[in-house]
Amino acid sequence: MTAASFDPRREARHRRGRIFRWLCLSAVWFAGLTLVVLLVKVTADGVPWLSLDFIRNYPSRIPARAGIRSAILGTLWMMALTGAVSFPLGVGAAVYLEEYAPDNWLTRLLQTNIANLAGVPSIVYGILGLTVFVRVFALGRSVLAGALTLALLILPVVIIASREALRAVPPSLREASYGLGATRWQTIRYHVLPVALPGILTGTILSLSRAIGETAPLIMIGALTFIAFPPTSPLDPFTVLPIQIFNWTAKPQADFHSLAAAAIIVLLLILLAMNATAILLRNKYRQEL
């Protein structure tokens, strides 16, 4: 490079770019190494405690008899009710905002608030659930109150993911349907939603994966840290895996810490299964289309 072609500002930009890339690479390596160390530690402590008895037994004050049956069943109840509430509301809101809502200041205000709600700390939703569902609607410290609280937590994410999936549908598909005489709802029902369904399902399942690991909102509404029976109805008291893990890690005995590691492994396996289901559903519907 000759002196005439030397540009100090360009060289400074290149230098800043190299430093930024080096910092990002270092952060990725540090995060990956930390995750590997944590996984190795959890696996080493928890695998010896994994057994069918650990899955089938109820919590106990004796580590050798303790299990996670009530926590697993409570988690399944929670996820089923949360999905049943958040999926239709989220998809319905996304369809309205993307297909029906006029482009005015009110719609833009709603969109901005939905995006902001997606970043609100989960403890705030716990306070909201305690005030509205537990006290105002008198649902008590039940599965239904927890499910409604978690549905509020993931609803903005479901709406945003569903809107992105709807926006990805080519406009030519809508125009072709209108050209054949279909109404707007017929176009959405028979053409737009089937094409957007893979993205909607993926976003919903990933949102549920976030909800399944939440602890703070459920503790705020009063989920029990020790419960020796599973819920049998939406109005029963409950516990879930993250709260059971929190309870065991707070105990001084080392055996309970190992039990918490085993429960973490079970929770990670459930999360991996949900993420794998999202990928399989997305690929299945894409192949059918």
Task: Kindly report, residue by residue over 238-274, the tens digit of the pLDDT.
Answer: 888 888 888 888 888 888 888 888 899 999 888 888 8
Local confidence band at 142 (pLDDT 50, 70, 90 cut-offs): confident
Q: Which tens digit of pLDDT belongs to each residue from 74-97?
A: 889 999 999 999 999 999 999 999
φ, ψ (nearest 5 deg) of residue 41: -65, -45
Mean pLDDT of the region 22-32: 83
For the segment 109-117, the average pLDDT, to the nearest whole number, is: 88
* pLDDT beyond 70 at 286: no
Domains of the chain: 54-288 (1.10.3720.10)
Q: Which residues lie closer than 8 Å to 177 by C-beta, 6 or more apart? A: 186, 187, 190, 191
Model confidence band, residue 162 (pLDDT cutoffs 50, 70, 90)? very high
Confidence of residue 287 (pLDDT cuts 50, 70, 90): low
Task: Measure the CA–CA gap between 117 and 165, rounded to whole angstroms.
Answer: 19
User: Is residue 137's pLDDT more than 70?
Assistant: yes
Per-residue model confidence (pLDDT) at position 7: 64
Higher pLDDT, 153 or 221: 153
What confidence category does residue 194 fall into, taking pLDDT thresholds of 50, 70 and 90?
Answer: confident
* Residue 81 neighbours by CB under 8 Å, 6+ apart: 143, 144, 147, 148, 151, 234
Q: Which of 7-11, 94-98, 218-222, 229-233 has the lowest mean pLDDT?
A: 7-11
Rounded distance between C-alpha atoms, residue 135 and residue 145, angstroms: 10
Cβ atoms of residues 221 and 134 within 8 Å: yes
Q: Is 19 exposed, middle or buried (0-12, 13-18, 19+ CB in 10 A)?
A: exposed
d(CA 261, CA 269): 13
